[in-house]
Structure 1
């Protein structure tokens, strides 16, 4: 391209010293520079059309990427807002989330959940007290693949009522003579929702449990 007076270029790019021009500003500066070059070009040595077209295409590409980024940011903001509203609808609800805790109070027990990746031939649930002792075993027999929720009647192995408090449960499953992995879920109640986390809102389940994500909820009771 033909060279312009440095003062012309400086007047066009003066705002670029900070290195923060947007694609729109870049395109405007380019067009201003292009018009100035056309006016000042040597008729015997005109501008190279291919070079001019290439530069204009680069500016348009940058502008398109910036607009796409703005659009994606807007979509992500909408998704985050939707997820937060979905989470707030669960406040006050009882849910099953990953865990192995079962609570006993006034003869009532909280539900327990388990999920199998395949059909299993036998399932045994062991209830364990705070000292690590097994106080009751439940034989559930065959179960199909998928999510299941069960309830413990709160009775110990000797038939007496289990004292109030927190217990843990362990699930052992067997299929074709081999142990099968099991995902365990315990009962909790959603008390509040917080946002501002990188991977979405968090559900506050009270001081006993750690906050969980929406994706962690396996069942709403």
Structure 2
């Protein structure tokens, strides 16, 4: 059964905010005490002028303002992370498309499939199906493919071991190589956050950054 990993709680966020607020108050108190002490012990013949007092008061206001701003940013970041986690939870059980060359075999249909992305149009695309030993077990040829994202289906010959199969794309345009990027599908089993970034736990690929997902089905 799929589980959704959740990091961070509202209680932790509240505690962090409270701690920051206390820190800001303590800093203000210390600064004011130092200023009062300085004024009490100043040279009567050369007292601090209004400009000096105003300058130091402006400094305490600046420090306090920056501290409050940091607290606000931290709170917003925590809230954003929690929102991402809730949105990501809806992906559990869905298939996603990402860069990779692992062949997705469907035992129900008896077919396997994958995809690729072409930098430019190709007159011929050869797709080699490779087993775990690196041996080509079958090949598919497609022609007249436009630039962009493409897909393919493959029916394994009888007796083919369908575990750990991968594929290799070779695209050309009138015998000139065309850059291609292999694309694979994987199943989302859980979501979590790592350093504030949404991470998907995929069936075959393990922990993968959400930013690497190109499509969701």
Q: What TM-score do you get using the length of structure 2 for normalisation?
A: 0.74
Displacement of 1:44: 5.2
Bigger Rg over Cα? 1
RMSD of Structure 2 on Structure 1 (CA): 2.8
Deviations 1:155-182 (A, max 9, x none): 44xxx57444331111112357543332
Preserved contact between residue 23 and residue 59 of structure 1 (Cα < 8 Å): no
Aligned ranges for residues 72-91 of structure 1 at < 5 Å?
A: 72-91=73-92
Query: Which of 149, 152, 158 does residue 151 from structure 2 map onto?
Result: 149
Is the CA contact (8 Å cut-off) linking 1:101 and 1:166 kept in structure 2? yes
Higher strand share: 2
Where structure 2 has 5 or more consecutive residues not aligned to the other structure, the ranges are 1-21
Residues 133 and 198 (structure 1 numbering): CA distance in 2 closer, same or farther, change over 3 Å? same
1:202 to 199, 206, 213: 199
- 2:177 aligned with 1:179, yes or no? yes
User: C-alpha distance in 2, partners of 1:57/1:212?
Assistant: 47
Q: Bigger CA drift: 38-47 or 72-81?
A: 38-47
Hey, what's the Cα distance between the residues in 2 that align with 1:117 and 1:199?
A: 33
Say which structure, 1 or 2, has more relative contact order (CA 8 Å, 6+ apart).
2
Q: Which residue of 1 aligns with 2:14?
A: none
Give TM-score scaled by structure 1 length. Answer: 0.73
Kept after mapping to 1: 8 A contact 2:110/2:156: no
75-84 or 176-185, larger mean C-alpha shift:
176-185
User: What is the distance in 1 between the residues matched to 2:60 and 2:173?
Assistant: 62
